[in-house]
Amino acid sequence: MLRRRLTVEVHNGVHARPVAELVRLAQAHGAPVRLSTAAGATVELSSVLAVMDLAIEAGESVTVEVEDAPGAAGLLDAISEVLAPLSRR
């Protein structure tokens, strides 16, 4: 399992556009991808509504987990670009 902790830097938090991109990336990868908040809520990145229900705000920390499979590291990089485009990993 690959795991990366990120601070969300998306202006106005994680709203519909970035959530749709996250779900699209996860579905294209095919392996299960989970997003967890600092409060302990965890969802699969397979449902836009499930991720939207987390109501993640800018500045919050989240953890992304993906099964170690071909392309998993690249997927984490792509997800990082959506959630924290200005971060230096």
Q: What does the buried/exposed string (b/e) look like for 3-19 if buried means 16 or more CB atoms within 10 Å of the residue's CB?
A: ebebebebeeebeeebb
Q: Can you give the pLDDT at residue 87? A: 56
- Give alpha helix (H) positions in 1-89: 16-29, 48-52, 72-83
Q: Can you give the pLDDT at residue 88? A: 46
Under DSSP, the state recorded for 70 is: T
Mean predicted confidence (pLDDT) in 44-65: 94
Q: Who wins on pLDDT, 10 or 39?
A: 39
Query: Measured between alpha carbons, how far is 71 from 60 in angstroms, rounded to an integer?
Result: 26
Q: Can you give the pLDDT at residue 31? A: 85
Answer CATH for 2-83 from 3.30.2290.10, 3.30.1340.10, 3.40.50.2300, 3.90.550.10: 3.30.1340.10
**Domain edges within the chain:** 2-83
For 70-83, write each residue's pLDDT tens digit: 999 999 999 999 99
Q: Can you give the pLDDT at residue 85? A: 79
Query: Residue 8, SS3?
Result: coil
Q: Who wins on pLDDT, 1 or 11?
A: 1
Percent of the chain with pLDDT over 70: 96
Residues 6+ apart with CB under 8 A from 74: none
